[in-house]
């Protein structure tokens, strides 16, 4: 009763490893996106504001408190 239902090579392609050249552009893109998000959540208010007004502050206000950034 210890028989295999599928043959040994059931048409599953071999897994090829990814090279660093293939991963590097995506890693840089995700890293920059994370830094921009961190800036808007953590520092976009007051003297360091790139956008005038309180719109950005209000949109990220709860996330700011959740991550431990003081804002008032």
Q: What is the pLDDT of residues 23-54, one digit of tens each?
A: 999 999 999 999 998 888 877 776 777 877 77
Q: Distances in Å between the alpha carbon of 67 and those of 15, 50, 54, 61, 71?
A: 38, 21, 19, 10, 11
Lowest-pLDDT range, 1-15, 25-39, 57-71?
Answer: 1-15
Asked if pLDDT for residue 1 goes beyond 60, the answer is no
What b-and-e string marks burial along 26-44, b requiring 16 or more CB atoms within 10 Å of the CB?
A: eeeeeeeeeeeeeebbbeb
What residue has token string 């520092």?
A: 43
Query: How far is 45 from 67, CA to CA, in rounded Å?
Result: 16
pTM over 0.75: no
Domain limits, the chain: 20-66
């Amino acid at each position: 009763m210890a028989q295999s239902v599928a043959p040994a090579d059931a048409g599953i392609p071999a897994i090829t490893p990814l090279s660093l050249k293939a991963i590097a552009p995506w890693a840089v893109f995700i890293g920059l996106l994370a830094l921009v998000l961190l800036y808007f959540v953590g520092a976009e208010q007051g003297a360091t504001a790139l956008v005038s007004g309180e719109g950005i502050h209000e949109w990220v206000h709860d996330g700011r408190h959740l991550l431990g950034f003081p804002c008032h």
